[in-house]
Amino acid sequence: MKLEKQQTIKQDVSISGTGLHTGQKGTLTFHPAEANHGIKFRRIDVEGQPIVEARVENVVDTSRGTTIAQNGVRVYTVEHILASLRGAGVDNVLIDINCEEPPIQDGSAKNMIEALKSAGIVEQDAEREYLRLKRSVSYFHPKIGCEIVIEPADDFRMEVNVDYNSQVLKPQTAVLESMADFEKEIAPCRTFVFFQELEMLLKHNLIKGGDLSTAIVFVENFVGEEELQRVAKLFNMESVGVHEGGILNNTTLHFENEPARHKLLDLIGDMALLGKPILGHVKAFKPGHLANTEFAKLVLENLAND
């Protein structure tokens, strides 16, 4: 395998917007960082501007997103940022954030990876270190039926299969043959939710910053006009309907298997918490943030024991 150099960005770049769950308006600013720095967040809104390192050991919550914390300071919903950095090939960056949760943007990694590319990606005078496994690692969560396996390899590939036992969101598969394909094939794929979950999320004080443009909404059961209009009002829309394919008519799918591709995006981001890129072939069935991060911890344990 050809030796590769570590990379950072050429200059600062910022993105602003609203956090999906907290509704906080904030700005992320990516700064170049020296070789071997890794990916770190700096909470500039907190006294002393504490650092939160993007490492799986710092995961403290995985409900509706991956939250990391260090010394009592949190950063919510980091998975899309981390996936964007991996997709752009950025190893070292310091990310200033002036709130608890990064902007959701359109629910994908598209805008973030475009911002990173606009800043310029530069090589550094240090070799990129890959994590290499000597044997396969398997994770299984019996309650949710999730299984993730990685086989040793000299390159990186990923396959994700999802099945929600749904009539509108059929079982589907997404494949990433190379990280070189991430920007075009995976980054534009948005998060998704079932219509029936929206009210529950609102009741639990989540998706404060959500609007119907930040997610694909699947409608499993019949929804009457009155309920549709009530939801439209909650999200400050004049009206909303349902496409024949079973999704709200505020959007159309970028890919037929966009949900599976988004789950692949999430898994890339959660695996970035390993701290370094890994070589291997990953196959996942019904992944989610809890399983993804537990799997990453298991991989680290295996690497430490080899």
Q: Which two tokens stand for residue 164?
A: 């929600």
Pairing status of strand 278-285 against strand 131-132: parallel
Q: Is residue 16 classed as helix, strand or coil in its secondary structure?
A: strand
Quote the tokens at residue 200: 């529950």
DSSP string, 119-134: H-EEEEEEEPPPEE-S
Closest CA to 106 of 181, 176, 164, 192: 192
| Strands 51-53, 278-285: pairing kind | unpaired
Those residues whose C-beta lies under 8 Å from the C-beta of residue 226, and which sit 6 or more positions away, are: none
Q: Which of 250, 198, 248 is nearest to 219 (CA)?
A: 248
Active site residues: 289
| Among the listed residues 111, 119, 103, 106, the one whose alpha carbon sits nearest the alpha carbon of residue 21 | 103
285 CA to centre of own chain: 17
Nearest CA-CA partner of 45 in 100, 93, 94, 95: 100
